[in-house]
Chain A
Amino acid sequence: DTAVSQTPKYLVTQMGNDKSIKCEQNLGHDTMYWYKQDSKKFLKIMFSYNNKELIINETVPNRFSPKSPDKAHLNLHINSLELGDSAVYFCASSQVRMVGNEQFFGPGTRLTVL
């Protein structure tokens, strides 16, 4: 029944490592997003994919690389992790042509870089 799911829920790793977060939605939506929520709870968009095409790429370091193998999946790979990458990462999805186009969020992945 889960609409937007993310794995893992928690991720603790050392500086310099490479890690991936996976996101899947079963809502049939055509657009997916990654948001970052920092320690002060501030939420900011990172990327958006529409039909597997990158359409939003905010000023995010190129150590972050999203990959969308199909409309239902949007993964986030992070290279050379830094302390400042510690945050909660939320995946979301929406149907662009739906009125209102509200975004439904996954449960979040808490990334801690030591």
Chain B
Amino acid sequence: AQKVTQAQTEISVVEKEDVTLDCVYETRDTTYYLFWYKQPPSGELVFLIRRNSFDEQNEISGRYSWNFQKSTSSFNFTITASQVVDSAVYFCALRVNTGTASKLTFGTGTRLQVTL
């Protein structure tokens, strides 16, 4: 069975601070994908990044960066110089490669509050 743990339920930071959202996953499969989604107050789910299990390169996209470490089964997400617009619930998710039976297993989410 797959499991995703986001131990931080809520984080509050002041604008311009850096913040890291933790994600730890469990799976016995050797081939899998990890995702981060953002859910702003408006409620939609916005895809941020996908990483497959064979690609441990870190990725940077603007103020966002992701650190994937298979040794610790972690896929952490860092926002540099946070802004008020980053306030949202962030979900980490795992998908194993099972052909057509594809489903995302989500973590419980981390609510990020960025204040002025």
Residues of A within 8 A of B (CB): 31, 33, 35, 40-45, 48, 50, 55-56, 88, 90, 92, 94, 96, 100-105, 107-108, 110
In the complex, which residues of chain B have a beta carbon less than 8 angstroms from the beta carbon of A43? 91, 104, 106, 109
* Nearest B-chain residue to A45, judged by Cβ: B103
Partner of A101, one of B91, B95, B108: B95
With an 8 Å Cβ cutoff, the count of chain B residues facing the other chain is 23
* Nearest B-chain residue to A107, judged by Cβ: B44
Q: Closest CB of chain B to A89's CB: distance in Å? A: 12
Asked if residues A50 and B50 are in contact (CB atoms below 8 Å), the reply is: no
Asked if residues B102 and A96 are in contact (CB atoms below 8 Å), the reply is: yes
User: What is the CA–CA distance of A55 and B103 in the complex, to the nearest angstrom?
Assistant: 10
Asked if residues A48 and B108 are in contact (CB atoms below 8 Å), the reply is: no
User: What is the CA–CA distance of A90 and B106 in the complex, to the nearest angstrom?
Assistant: 13
Q: A55-B101, A102-B47 are in contact. List 4 more A-B contacts (CB 8 A).
A: A33-B103, A41-B89, A45-B104, A110-B43
User: What is the CA–CA distance of A44 and B3 in the complex, to the nearest angstrom?
Assistant: 12
Q: Does any Cβ of A come within 8 Å of B64's Cβ?
A: no
Asked if residues A41 and B103 are in contact (CB atoms below 8 Å), the reply is: no
Asked if residues B102 and A105 are in contact (CB atoms below 8 Å), the reply is: no
User: What is the CA–CA distance of A43 and B39 in the complex, to the nearest angstrom?
Assistant: 11
User: What is the CA–CA distance of A110 and B44 in the complex, to the nearest angstrom?
Assistant: 11
Known A-B contacts A42-B108, A100-B33; the reply to A108 vs B43 at CB < 8 A is yes
Q: Does any Cβ of A come within 8 Å of B14's Cβ?
A: no
* Nearest A-chain residue to B43, judged by Cβ: A108
Q: Does any Cβ of A come within 8 Å of B99's Cβ?
A: yes
Q: From residue 36 to 85 of chain B, which have CB atoms closer than 8 A to chain A? A: 37, 39, 43-45, 47, 50, 52
Asked if residues A90 and B102 are in contact (CB atoms below 8 Å), the reply is: no
Q: Closest CB of chain B to A6's CB: distance in Å? A: 10
User: What is the CA–CA distance of A94 and B97 in the complex, to the nearest angstrom?
Assistant: 14
In the complex, which residues of chain A have a beta carbon less than 8 angstroms from the beta carbon of B35? 102
User: What is the CA–CA distance of A103 and B33 in the complex, to the nearest angstrom?
Assistant: 12
User: What is the CA–CA distance of A44 and B108 in the complex, to the nearest angstrom?
Assistant: 10
Q: Does any Cβ of A come within 8 Å of B30's Cβ?
A: no
In the complex, which residues of chain B have a beta carbon less than 8 angstroms from the beta carbon of A101? 33, 95, 102
